[in-house]
Amino acid sequence: MEDLARLAVNIDVFSYADGTQALGNIALDVRKGEFLGILGSNGSGKTTLLKVMDGLIKDYKGSVLLDGSDVRKLSPKQIYAKVGLVFQNPDEQLFAPTVLEDVSFGPQNMGFSDSEVRQRALSALQQVDMEGLAKKSIHHLSFGQRKRVCIAGLLAMGHEILLLDEPTAGLDPMGEYRMMNLLMKLNRERGVTVVMATHSVDLVPLFLSRLFILSKGKIARSGTPEEVFTAPETMQNVKLRLPQMAELIYRLKHEDGVGFERVPLTIGEARREILRTLEERHA
Amino acid sequence: MLTEHSRIDHALARIDARVKILSALVILAMILSYRGFAFPGLVTLICLILTFGMGVRLRVLLLRYSEPLFIAAVIIAVKLLFAGKDPMFSAQFMGIAINGYRDGFLEGLQIANRIVSAVSLIALLGFSTPFAEFIAGLSWFRVPKGFVEILMFAYRYIFVLFDDAQVIYQAQKNRLGYSTLRRGLSSFGTLAGSLTIKAFDHSQSTTVAMMQRGYDGTMPMLKHKPFRLHEVAMTMVLLICLGVLWKI
């Protein structure tokens, strides 16, 4: 069951109205309960790919299957009962005057009773640690809080797959960390399948189980963070870089001849690797 | 968004918005048509007790009252000095004779009393009624649906577009966009054009975001629920009591 593909994307080609090719030869699958990343520089096609996966773009050559059904043949209600896209800019998503009213919008449209709507909205706000701000005006919230309300709006509907466009963009380092922890909690504790587009390479190895590197609308590389970040040349070719810790160890290994066995991706891994190397030298 | 400052779990906040709006309109008519001090004063007192009972802080309330109180003070001063026949005092200021009139002063006080009373009533309505419920109530009063929906979006997006406008204005100002009148006019035109395009972009994205959450052209919060009999009955009793006091 864990390996069942919830979303299977096979795009031969998708071009914008002006003829610019945005996506080509894309083949990726999203499995149940995964925390998957789409990594790419600006203009690489990440947002377009998310819109394709969400059924917002349909005039492509190829197919996108949601639980085995072609999204082009599904009604918006059928798609949006399972998949929800969180935009990069929360102001494009939040429209109601207060937090509670905005989060309640989805459940209200689903036809739940008032008490059920309220219970769902408050539960969703609790999941994103925003329950204390339910009656606050949206415009009084910080950018990070608004992003959390966007996520709560989809969680209140019981979405099983969350697509997030640059969820950490515009957040301070602590905000980035909190957002990623929230997504990880939703993924691990609530079983929500998470697909996020990002260019924050330092966050990826800490949280994501699998990632796809997108460049000029094509998948340049895919695999686990360990698999993807072993080739710095590929990262440079797609206008990205290694995580800072990996970059440091990689340079120490190749330019200064320090005998590291592997290139770590996180501070914890790097610490262990450095201590091991030092112990070997002392011995 | 006055409800931000009050307790949303208060009994008054749970009453149907339509009942509250209708009651407020009836009481407002009574205040405006009453000749005297007692009735508006009583309404002010009741409204203030209920407002504080809802957990509204004095500072917030004073902030809301500051403008109407200023207007009331100006009216009292104007009526005192320029209306009436019964002299109350006379003074000289820099060689100018200043006369105050008792009947003018009383008339001014009466108007000020009505203003404060009406503002107290509307503030109580605001503190006890969430915005969405308020506009849903308006739609029941046959306010056109399109207008009500625009009102709802306007409340949210006026702030978003205002922020956008500020950013564009600062960017223009930093590059001397307002250094001369001619340049300023030209920059302002560009700002207005950019805002229109941004508003259009926002509207498209918001529509998509709303569709994702089941929007099919009707706003669920504008659907009306049946009236609760006990609320209507209690309101009727209150209005009758106030009507009797108004008549006395």
Would you give per-residue pLDDT tens digits along chain A (283 residues)? 445 668 999 999 999 888 889 999 999 999 999 999 999 888 899 999 999 999 888 899 999 999 989 999 998 888 888 899 999 888 888 888 889 888 998 888 888 888 899 999 999 999 888 888 888 888 889 988 999 999 999 889 888 899 999 998 888 888 888 889 889 999 998 889 999 998 888 877 778 889 899 999 999 989 888 888 877 777 888 888 888 888 888 888 888 887 777 777 788 888 888 888 888 878 7
Is there a contact between B213 and A80 if contact means CB atoms under 8 Å apart? yes
- A10's enclosing H/E stretch is strand A5-15
Residue of A nearest to B202 (CA): A92
pLDDT for A93? 87
Q: Are A6 and A30 in contact (CB under 8 A)?
A: yes
Count of C-beta atoms within a 10 Å radius of residue B206: 21
Instruction: Report residue B46's pLDDT band, with 50, 70 and 90 as the boundaries.
Output: very high
Which among B1, B206, B209 has CB closest to A98? Answer: B1
- Outline where DSSP puts E strands in A105-263: 161-165, 193-198, 210-215, 218-223
pLDDT for B73? 94
Q: What is the phi/psi pair of residue A121, to 5°?
A: -65, -45
As a whole number of Å, the CA-based R_g of chain B is 24
Instruction: Identify all chain A residues contacting B208, using CB atoms and an 8 Å cutoff.
Output: 56
Mind telling me how many Å the CA of A157 is from chain B's nearest CA?
A: 8
Mean pLDDT confidence for B106-128? 92
Is-above-0.90 flag for pTM? Answer: no
Is there a contact between A106 and B159 if contact means CB atoms under 8 Å apart? no
Residue B233 has pLDDT above 80, yes or no: yes
Residue of A nearest to B3 (CA): A135
pLDDT for B214? 83
Nearest Cα residue to A156 out of A188, A180, A126, A185: A126
**Residue B2 and residue B12: Cα distance in Å, rounded?**
14
Task: Give the residue extent of every domain in chain B.
Answer: 2-129+225-247, 154-217
Count of C-beta atoms within a 10 Å radius of residue B105: 20
CB contact, 8 Å: B165 with chain A? no
- Outline where DSSP puts E strands in A75-120: 83-86
Rounded (5°) CA angle A81-A86-A87:
135
Instruction: Report residue B134's pLDDT band, with 50, 70 and 90 as the boundaries.
Output: confident
Is there a contact between A92 and B209 if contact means CB atoms under 8 Å apart? yes
Which among B3, B132, B216 has CB closest to A96? Answer: B132
pLDDT for A56? 87
Q: Give the single-character DSSP code of A182.
A: H
3-state secondary structure of A253: helix
Instruction: Report residue B1's pLDDT band, with 50, 70 and 90 as the boundaries.
Output: low
How much is the mean pLDDT over chain B? 86
Q: Are B239 and B24 in contact (CB under 8 A)?
A: no
Task: Give the residue extent of every domain in chain A.
Answer: 243-283
Tell me: the pLDDT tens digits for B158-215? 888 888 898 889 888 888 888 889 888 999 999 999 988 888 888 888 888 888 888 8
**Residue A139 and residue A130: Cα distance in Å, rounded?**
15
Residue B118 has pLDDT above 90, yes or no: yes
CB contact, 8 Å: B32 with chain A? no
- Share above pLDDT 90 across residues of chain B, in percent, rounded to a whole number: 29
Give one DSSP letter per residue of chain B, joined into a string.
Answer: -GGGGS-TTSHHHHS-HHHHHHHHHHHHHHHHH--SSHHHHHHHHHHHHHHHHTT--HHHHHHHHHHHHHHHHHHHHHHHHHS-SSEEEEEEETTEEEEEEHHHHHHHHHHHHHHHHHHHHHHHHHHHS-HHHHHHHHHHTT--HHHHHHHHHHHHHHHHHHHHHHHHHHHHHHTTTTSSHHHHHHHHHHHHHHHHHHHHHHHHHHHHHHHHTT--SS-GGGSPPPPPHHHHHHHHHHHHHHHHHHH-
pLDDT for A1? 42
User: Could you tell me which residues are beta bridge partners of residue A147?
Assistant: none
Q: Give the single-character DSSP code of A203.
A: T
Residue of B nearest to A51 (CA): B208
Phi-psi region of B227 (alpha: psi -120 to 50; beta: other; left: phi over 0): beta
Count of C-beta atoms within a 10 Å radius of residue B198: 16
CB contact, 8 Å: B101 with chain A? no
Model ipTM value: 0.71
Is there a contact between B155 and A106 if contact means CB atoms under 8 Å apart? no
User: Could you tell me which residues are beta bridge partners of residue A62?
Assistant: A11
**Residue A102 and residue A138: Cα distance in Å, rounded?**
9
The pair of structure tokens assigned to A158 is 């019981």
Residue of A nearest to B134 (CA): A97
Mind telling me how many Å the CA of B155 is from chain A's nearest CA?
A: 7
**Residue B28 and residue B50: Cα distance in Å, rounded?**
17
User: Could you tell me which residues are beta bridge partners of residue A212?
Assistant: A38, A222
**Residue B157 and residue B133: Cα distance in Å, rounded?**
18
Distance of CA B119 to the CA centre of its chain: 8
Instruction: Identify all chain A residues contacting B212, using CB atoms and an 8 Å cutoff.
Output: 54, 76, 80, 84-85, 154
Those of residues 114-143 in B touching chain A at CB distance below 8 A are: 130-132
Instruction: Report residue B28's pLDDT band, with 50, 70 and 90 as the boundaries.
Output: very high
Residue B232 has pLDDT above 90, yes or no: no
Residue of B nearest to A83 (CA): B212
Mind telling me how many Å the CA of A115 is from chain B's nearest CA?
A: 13
Mind telling me how many Å the CA of B202 is from chain A's nearest CA?
A: 6
